[in-house]
A and B are shown apart, each in its own frame.
Chain A
Amino acid sequence: MGLKTFAGGVHPFEGKELSKDKEITSMLPKSPQMVYPLSQHIGAPANPVVKAGDTVKKGQMIAEAGGFVSSPIFSSVSGTVKKIEPRRVAAGGMVNSIIIENDGAYDEVEYNEVDNPFSLSKEEILERVKNGGVVGLGGAGFPTHVKLSPANPDKIDYIIANCAECEPYLTSDYRMMLEYADRLIGGMKIAVSLFPGAKGVFGIENNKPDCIAKLKELTKDEPDIYVQPLLTKYPQGAERNMIFAVTGRKINSSMLPADAGCIVDNVATLCAVYDAVKFGKPIISRVVTVTGDAVKDPRNFLVPTGTCFRDIVEEAGGFKEKPEKIIYGGPMMGFANFTLDIPVGKTNSALLAFTKDETAAYEPSACISCGRCVDACPSRIVPSRLADYSENGRLDLFEKWGGVECVECGTCSFVCPARRHLTLAIKSMRKTALANRKKK
């Protein structure tokens, strides 16, 4: 089968060599304080079910879902709840968090394992996914049980495993595909079993030939599951582009993947679905890539959630040189933050540390209308104009030129030879435009 892809996109320096051959290693937190933000997902924040002074076990629920579109939070250690207070998270804001003093014993609760996950009813499966705190672990954090309960389950034709990992430098999904392939396929089978007519597709970029080969081999006897190699291009892993590449169907900003008969979940999410359904085990750890030219020993770690990123950097040998910039997530869409005192949340897949902040040296200059942003934009809109309209407060023109279709992938700013902050400008007005649309 040939390579599929979408129109537009760019090919930034990959940088995956630094950590792609490093096996996933488990690590334990050094600092005793564990931090569990109550919002690690899209939707209502979770409501704490513990209070200061309570003792908790590893795997115990410490906050329950705050609504249907919400997700519970679990402790990854045993210890004592110290307090509940706002703490800074990777995206930069302060989020109310449960602070737990780790007693170092890692006393674990008993999980309710089932022998055959396929003997469960649909409702039971969804309940177990929900109770496992599973959300989109690629970064968006949309509660997975909501995604898996679309309005018309009969119309779902494809469950797409987003194995693109198109962000440069990140290798956590890559390592999981190689090392956790059985769980990944198990999660896929469970998701496919929920929908009578659905096929499971692993969409993998062709810069990961070993993953393509491995998953092809492991799924060769599965009639409903296949591997679709994709062209390596950013943002191949953006949901709309992934759906188009795999199925040829298009969705826009006001549609859900389910409107095109698709459900898209990333690698880590499907593994978490398997853990939750088969073993009854909630999300209490995740794979995190620590890399960048400032890191002594770039690695992939399996880290308990709530661990401080400072501990992870130490585990990776610390910094060779003081980094100028650290990024939570990939270099295209990740969040730059000023501190390492950030807890690992469900959606934090990487920490990058660079000795040079290459964007700081650039000063924006006049747009020369070269159209590179237009040709690269995966949403097929005109970023340079939209940025103008945003800077000049012209919401009417912004809407006329389709600004809400932006996916904020950063591609336009990446290619801009005038070094304009296109993505930033569009993002800021898009918020207003989206709010307006909701009002209508």
Chain B
Amino acid sequence: MNNELMNVASNPHVRHKDSTQRIMLYVIIALLPATCFGIWNFGLRALLLILITIASCVASEYIFNIITHKKQTVSDLSAVVTGLLLALNFPVSLPWWMPVVGGAFAIIVVKIIFGGLGQNFMNPALGARCFMLISFTGPMSAFTYDGVSSATPLALMREGETVDTFRMLIGTIPGTIGETSVIAIVVGAMVLILMGVIDLRIPGTYIVTFTIFIILFSGHGLDSNYIVGQLCGGGLMLGAFFMATDYVTSPITSKGKIVFGICLGITTGIFRMFGSMAEGVSYSIIFCNILVPLIENFTIPKGFGVVKEKKAKGGDAA
């Protein structure tokens, strides 16, 4: 026993059980209801698209790490989350090779080139989605449902039609693979909230701000069919709970999260009401991602017990 040296380290000497990998696993689990519903709704082709996208993301990260002699990081599961999220944003009819390109773009261009996990300034899945929306506009916005190409509820509402909000809650509507079922998404979001992965500061202010915005500016006022349709339609729910809350690309300060949610609500409102397209969540989130450093800079917390310094008035200045 004598003179046997023991480990020395700085405090604390105990740690919480949650690791990065575990958090990513929670996110994957929370996305399962929406994923499973998407597969049930759109068929096995959806499953294959999802698997291809995930494989493309993981392989991109794996190979890039090998080529650049970096430490292998695929085990943190973040590439799986990116792939899954990206695939949930695809229409089911997408040609097979496009997810491969999209996955590689998300991981290599949006994430790794900017320094890898934690350094990317925009959400990789959304960055890739927007890249694909611009590059492959046709296939990315062709929505078929039950074999017939059809308009999404948001597009219908833009034409002034009313929509079946019950079907939108359930999710049996045309749209991307993972965005259609509000119920499945909310169940997943509740898992994330219960596991302490996200809280309501961002999604809550986002949804509330957006609702206020459409009541004030949509011209439909308090038309409940319109409001519920807007909330349940498109990628709002998926975006609010799973993409706007992306840790890396949202503000870390508590006040910043609130400001971020408000910015998201306003920009989504502007894009949907006054833009050229029916949908605006993806663009809104990546636009606000770029605002994050600015938001953080204005919301630096003062610290416990620190009172705002009053500016010394003329005579008092030492």
Contact = CB atoms under 8 A, between A and B. Distances in A.
Which among B5, B7, B250, B301 has the greatest number of chain A C-beta atoms within 10 A?
B7
Contacts of A323: 6
Chain B residues touching A, majority SS: loop
Given A374-B252, A382-B300, A10 B7 contact: no
Which of B13, B15, B118 is the most central at the interface, judged by chain A CB atoms within 10 Å of its CB? Answer: B13
A381 B304 CA distance: 8
A410 B11 contact: yes
A379 B303 contact: yes
B95 interface: no
Contact of A327 (B13, B20, B76, B248): B13
B315 interface: no
Interface string A369-400: 11110110011111011000000000000001
Contacts of B8: 92, 336-338
Interface residues of B, number: 42
Contact of B14 (A13, A240, A338): A13
A256 to B, nearest CB: 12
B304 A252 contact: yes
A368 B3 CA distance: 41
B11 A334 contact: yes
A354 B12 CA distance: 14
Contact of B117 (A318, A357, A368): A368
A382 B252 contact: yes
A70 to B, nearest CB: 26
B10 A427 contact: yes
Interface string A144-179: 000000000000000000000000100000000000
Nearest to B19: A417
A423 B22 contact: no
B254 interface: yes
Contacts of A410: 11-12
Contacts of A367: 118
A382 B303 CA distance: 9
A195 interface: no
B310 interface: no
B22 A417 contact: yes
Contacts of B18: 372, 415, 417
Contact of A424 (B6, B10, B305): B10
A195 to B, nearest CB: 22
Interface residues of A, number: 72
B306 A402 contact: yes
B302 interface: yes
A360 B303 contact: no
A267 B117 CA distance: 46
A402 B5 contact: no
B16 A415 contact: yes
A294 to B, nearest CB: 10
Interface string A309-348: 0000000001100111111000111111111100000000
B148 interface: no
11 contacts: A325-B9, A327-B13, A337-B6, A340-B1, A360-B7, A368-B78, A369-B252, A381-B304, A413-B15, A418-B118, A421-B10
Interface of B: 1, 3-16, 18-20, 22-23, 73, 76, 78, 116-119, 247-248, 250, 252-254, 257, 300-307
Interface of A: 10, 12-13, 92, 168, 240, 244, 250-253, 255, 318-319, 322-327, 331-340, 352, 354, 357-360, 362, 365-372, 374-375, 378-382, 384-385, 400-402, 405, 408, 410-411, 413-419, 421, 423-424, 427
5 closest Cβ contacts across the A-B interface? A410-B12, A405-B303, A250-B305, A252-B305, A402-B303
